[in-house]
Amino acid sequence: MKKLRIGVVGLGHRGRQLIEVSGSFDNVEIAAVCDLKPTNWYEQQWLSDAPLAEKFPEAVFYEDYDKMLDEASLDAIIVETGADIHAEFCMKGLRKNINVLTDIPVVASLQEAEDIWKASQKSKAQIYTGANANFQKLVVLLKDFYNKGLLGNPYYMEAEYIHWSMPKSKESIHLNENGDWRKLLIPIRYSTHSLGPLLTILKEDLRTVSCFGTGPQGEGSTKDDMMCAQFQTESGVVVRLMRNGRCRAKIGHHNYRVFGTEGYFEKIDRFSTPVIRYNSMKELDTELKETGGEYMPPAYANNPKAVGHGGVDYAMLDHFFKALSGEESECVTLREGLAMTLPGIYAEESAKRGGEVLTMYYPWDKEWTTKL
């Protein structure tokens, strides 16, 4: 079997995790890896039982990304650098016709959105978005519920991504040991895990936004402790997104609620026991039903290899590797990635302007401009 030659740039926590999961696929070879910090490859790291260099002796380590792209004959690269610096790595791959899977948010500015959009159109290679939240059970069930007409038309949706943070905890120290992007990124910019799942059942882009932030309120805060954005589509659907900088309670990360003309769907994540609930006026029994809200997509539930964020990382990579092999798959496209990323950039700008309502455009709109 010809193996896919995969390269990974960014060997922080996420890059290392995706190397391990990718390495479990029979048709994948981790051929090359790259980081500015060789220790991330050669030395044992947090949450690992051995240095990755020992686990993947065939992989060639590079400190220089351009050199890796020139020398390693890759079928694809996985971009796992900090959340504010993905686009340049993706575009370099695309220019060399190397396929790309990029983590989210895809871009850090409207200019990057324009550049990567154009680069993808010129390239013979494919670029997909590593939006693993889009592969979770919630999305599988929600899309099915919507496609069967049980939800009707969604008219209001909301999502929260509230990540517990305790600055001096072992976890926080490790999460920040490879760079400062977590400390610097404005919370609402990390909109992707929340909007991505909701956008899978919206037939239009988010068009307007107004956002407020609390500013730094707690001791030691340097950015907004909480931000809240409200978006609206052209037809009037309202989407609310809450994102935290500070939260000192482990209350569960991801919540989603969808109100439709015929039904209701939610995932409420509290204290590690997430629950999905739904009901529809189209069914004989209109009472609220309940099922487990774990991440694992149902199609992978019996696959012992399906690991990483409860199995969604494996599912996402499975779709990516199938796409590379010419098989049918449901990867998250660049367009979908930008549709969940750009609202965060506009929302940050709205918050800076005191909640001013801004109109949002995307590189595929005729009114597109890189000016905010």
Ligand X SMILES: NC(=O)c1ccc[n+]([C@@H]2O[C@H](COP(=O)([O-])OP(=O)(O)OC[C@H]3O[C@@H](n4cnc5c(N)ncnc54)[C@H](O)[C@@H]3O)[C@@H](O)[C@H]2O)c1
| Contact range with ligand X by CB under 6 A, out of 42-50, 78-86, 159-167, 357-365 | 78-86
Q: With contact defined as beta carbons under 8 Å apart, do 293 and 161 qualify?
A: no
**What b/e sequence results for 318-349 when a residue is b if at least 16 CB atoms lie within 10 Å of its CB, and e otherwise?**
bbbbebbeeeeeebbebebbbbbbbbbbbbbb
Q: Site mask, ligand X, residues 19-38, x = CB under 6 A?
A: ---------------xxxx-
C-beta neighbour count of 249 within 10 angstroms: 10
Q: Which of 59, 76, 103, 334 binds ligand X (CB under 6 A)?
A: 103
Q: Which of 4, 8, 72, 80 binds ligand X (CB under 6 A)?
A: 80
Which residue, 15 or 245, has its beta carbon nearer to ligand X? 15
Angle between helices 87-95 and 110-122 (to 10 degrees): 20
Q: What is the nearest approach in angstroms of ligand X to the Cβ of residue 363?
A: 20
Q: Site mask, ligand X, residues 293-332, x = CB under 6 A?
A: ----------------x-----------------------
Q: What is the nearest approach in angstroms of ligand X to the Cβ of residue 190?
A: 7
Residues in region 193-252 near ligand X by CB under 6 A: none
Q: Which of 22, 32, 69, 81 binds ligand X (CB under 6 A)?
A: 81
Q: Which of 12, 252, 310, 344 binds ligand X (CB under 6 A)?
A: 12
Q: How many Cα atoms occupy the beta-carbon half-sphere of 97 within 13 Å?
A: 2
Q: Site mask, ligand X, residues 144-183, x = CB under 6 A?
A: ----------------------------------xx----
**Residue 344 CB partners (closer than 8 Å, separation 6+):** 105, 188, 189, 190, 191, 192, 195
| Contact range with ligand X by CB under 6 A, out of 8-16, 107-115, 121-129, 281-289 | 8-16
Which residue, 12 or 311, has its beta carbon nearer to ligand X? 12
Query: Does residue 266 interact with ligand X by CB under 6 A?
Result: no
| Contact range with ligand X by CB under 6 A, out of 79-87, 118-126, 197-205, 356-364 | 79-87
User: Beta strand 4-9 with 28-34: parallel, antiparallel or unpaired?
Assistant: parallel
Residues contacting ligand X: total by CB under 6 A:
22
Which residue, 34 or 87, has its beta carbon nearer to ligand X? 34
Which residue, 190 or 264, has its beta carbon nearer to ligand X? 190
Q: With contact defined as beta carbons under 8 Å apart, do 301 and 70 qualify?
A: no
Q: Which of 14, 92, 246, 319 binds ligand X (CB under 6 A)?
A: 14
Q: Which of 7, 10, 196, 263 binds ligand X (CB under 6 A)?
A: 10
Q: How far apart are CA 293 and CA 242, in angstroms?
A: 20
Q: What is the DSSP letter of 238?
A: E
Handedness of CA 346, 184, 255, 197 (dihedral sign): positive
| Extended beta strands in the chain, E state | 4-9, 28-34, 60-62, 76-79, 99-102, 127-129, 154-161, 206-213, 226-233, 238-244, 254-260, 263-268, 275-280, 289-292, 332-333, 358-359
Q: Where are the alpha helices (DSSP H) in the chain?
A: 13-22, 39-42, 52-55, 65-71, 87-95, 110-122, 137-147, 170-175, 181-184, 192-199, 312-324, 334-352
Q: Which of 4, 6, 8, 11 binds ligand X (CB under 6 A)?
A: 11
Which residue, 9 or 347, has its beta carbon nearer to ligand X? 9
**Residue 310 CB partners (closer than 8 Å, separation 6+):** 136, 294, 295, 296
Closest CB to ligand X belongs to which residue?
12
Q: Which of 6, 7, 15, 340 binds ligand X (CB under 6 A)?
A: 15
Site residues (CB under 6 A) for ligand X? 9-15, 34-37, 40, 65, 80-83, 103, 132, 178-179, 309
